[in-house]
Amino acid sequence: MRLYATLAGVVLSASAAHADPGRLLGDDTFAVHDGGPYILDAGLFAAQPAALPSGISTGLGAGVTRQCGCGLSYGLRASWSTESESSQTWVVTQWDMRLRGLVQLRHTAGRGILALRLGGGPTVVHEHRVRTQSERSGMTIESSSTALLPAADLEALVGLHVAGPWIAMIAVGPTVEVLDGNVRGGWIAQLTVGWQP
């Protein structure tokens, strides 16, 4: 009986909210409308480390894209991620900063966005190594170095206009970097929230 009373209360309050002119959600809240040419997005970033043989490098990514109106977009992206891995002799921490210029083929279907994104640019890798057990022995053995790797990414992007100017986007795809003269494959993934004013 108490449950039914609670449910009735919820339904009545919902009805009252619907009738309230100062409500949070309007009829056009989820409507799709054409925004400007720019989309700014930021969110979570994950990738295979640029120069470590194992692990998942996690961090943040952000970007700006300008739509040309002809199914083609271009823009800039940046991401920062870090990962620590250890062996019997080393604990290695690397952070990767990926800076990309990109072009994007875009198709809009209702609320949805499908795109293929090709990016290119440098990946800055900073490495810090600590010799295992050396801190315990009182004589820390460590080294640091930084390198710049040419890289390219190809990402498939799925976006959804959720509400107003807000877009949820997922992008996943392969990446290649040139490390010590060798081409090295990997992957990247991003889960971001876009804003299209």
Task: List interacting residues with other proteins (CB under 8 A).
Answer: 51-53, 85, 87, 89-90, 92, 94, 122, 124-127, 129, 131, 133-134, 136-139, 141, 143-149, 179-180
Residue 185 C-beta: closest distance to other proteins, Å: 16
Residue 70 C-beta: closest distance to other proteins, Å: 34
* Distance, CA of 33 to CA of 23 (rounded, Å): 21
Residue 81 C-beta: closest distance to other proteins, Å: 15
DSSP state of 12: H
Tokens of 37: 């040419």
How many residues are recorded in the chain? 197
The 3-state secondary structure of 41-75, one letter per residue: EEEEEEECCCCCCCCCEEEEEEEEEEECCCCEEEE
Which one, 93 or 108, has the nearer CB to other proteins?
93
Which one, 27 or 180, has the nearer CB to other proteins?
180
Provide the b/e sequence for 57-72 (b: ≥16 CB within 10 Å).
bebebbbbbebeeeee
> In angstroms, how far is CA 147 from the centroid of its own chain?
23
Which one, 92 or 102, has the nearer CB to other proteins?
92
* Distance, CA of 101 to CA of 114 (rounded, Å): 19
Which one, 13 or 145, has the nearer CB to other proteins?
145
Residue 151 C-beta: closest distance to other proteins, Å: 12
Which one, 15 or 144, has the nearer CB to other proteins?
144
Residue 64 C-beta: closest distance to other proteins, Å: 20
